Amino acid sequence: MEITDAMVSSGMRDAGYKYVVIDDCWQVSRDTLGNIICDPERFPSGMKALAGYVHSKGLKFGLYSCAGSATCQDRPGSRGYQFQDARTYAKWGVDYLKYDWCNDEGQNAKAAYKTMSDALKATGRPIILSICEWGENKPWEWGNGIGNLWRITPDIRDCFSCVFEWGGLGVLDIIDRDADLYLYAGPGHWNDAEMLEIGNGGMTPDEYKTHFSMWCMLAAPLMAGNDIRNMDESTRTILTNKDAIAVDQDPLGQQARRFMDMGEHEIWAKPLANGEVAICFLNRDDSPWNLDYDWKKNIMYFATDISIREKVYKVYDLWKHSNIGLTNRNLQTIVPSHGVLMVRLSENI
């Protein structure tokens, strides 16, 4: 309830965030009829009452379960109880289900997730299904129509670039995993690049801006993974950047492509509705990037009506929230170490 209140008071709800989702450990057991029981100490009013409170604030409510017989924290999973659990969730007013993959016991992933998908659909209540099997079975190839989003990697870590033996990945590592999956993303079926680490203290402000900018470019679901009850102003400003969020939520629903790879310097492009385009200059280097970009010389081809050579476009900086030039002259600026320049091009009428 405190998180729900903070979603409103922080401006996150007004910025477009919709769901409050409880992760693992809310469930403790099943009753004699097999019904899932929530922790009576942590949730004394029960899940239906909690969902009602969330809904009263203009938000939606989500829960966690697992396709195995036990969750990742050894709480009761949904295997064998899929339709029963789905009916319970619908009765409680659940709008979103994160469905994990621990203790899968050798199941076929596509079949396991389709079973829960069918169970949720049978309730008659629209419930978002988040496929969370960490990209192990290429869910982007079969998830459309089963789930609404699918994780493409193991868990994210609060670092700019890192790979852990057990599978944890940093921001750049996830971006690289997602780069070639753009064909699978679109309205209603998204590549889930994992939660946002912004505000958790492991990265610099520039790195957190890069994290947020690239998730928006990748049309990734945006889920805050910090404690929003006590975030500082820098964190709040990043998470509620409506200009960047508009790129993420663009109705065209296309994922950005890395159309220019110069090693430590990259340029990403994301076609937007109304013939516009978002461009992100990504500096992976430890040193600043002295950018001098000739829009005319470097031909851009997108699946849109945009033509840099034939028309002049305004260049709008999505972090400065102001126009910084036109495409009929070079773009000259400094992109900080591990930082980005994220702009939106629109026709200069």
* Domain residue spans of the chain: 2-248, 257-347
151 closest CA partner among 140, 141, 161, 162: 140
- Asked if residue 306 has pLDDT above 80, the reply is no
Class of domain 2-248: alpha beta
**Is-contact 67 100, C-beta < 8 A?**
yes
Whole-number Å distance between alpha carbons of 245 and 249: 6
- Asked if residue 281 has pLDDT above 60, the reply is yes
Strand, coil or helix: what is 1? coil
Average pLDDT over residues 280-298: 93
Whole-number Å distance between alpha carbons of 247 and 242: 9
Residue 308: pLDDT band (50, 70, 90) is: low
Sheet holding 149-151, edge to edge: 19-21, 60-66, 96-100, 128-131, 149-151, 190-192
First-to-last CA distance in the chain? 47
Cα–Cα separations (whole angstroms), residue 276 to 64, 179, 242, 269, 286: 37, 21, 17, 11, 31
β-pair partners for 313: 347
For residue 57, which amino acid is it? K
Give catalytic residue positions. Answer: 100, 155
Strand, coil or helix: what is 336? coil
- pLDDT for 93 equals 98
Whole-number Å distance between alpha carbons of 11 and 312: 35
- pLDDT for 145 equals 98
60 closest CA partner among 130, 134, 154: 130
Which two tokens mark 5? 């209140």
Report the range of poorest mean pLDDT among 131-140, 290-299, 320-329: 290-299
Residue 231: pLDDT band (50, 70, 90) is: very high
Average pLDDT over residues 60-85: 98
Which two tokens mark 28? 């403790």
Residue 303: pLDDT band (50, 70, 90) is: very low
Instruction: CATH number for 257-347: choose from 2.70.98.10, 1.20.1300.10, 2.60.40.1180, 2.40.128.20.
Output: 2.60.40.1180
Per-chain mean pLDDT for the chain: 95
Which two tokens mark 270? 């994301």
For residue 257, which amino acid is it? R
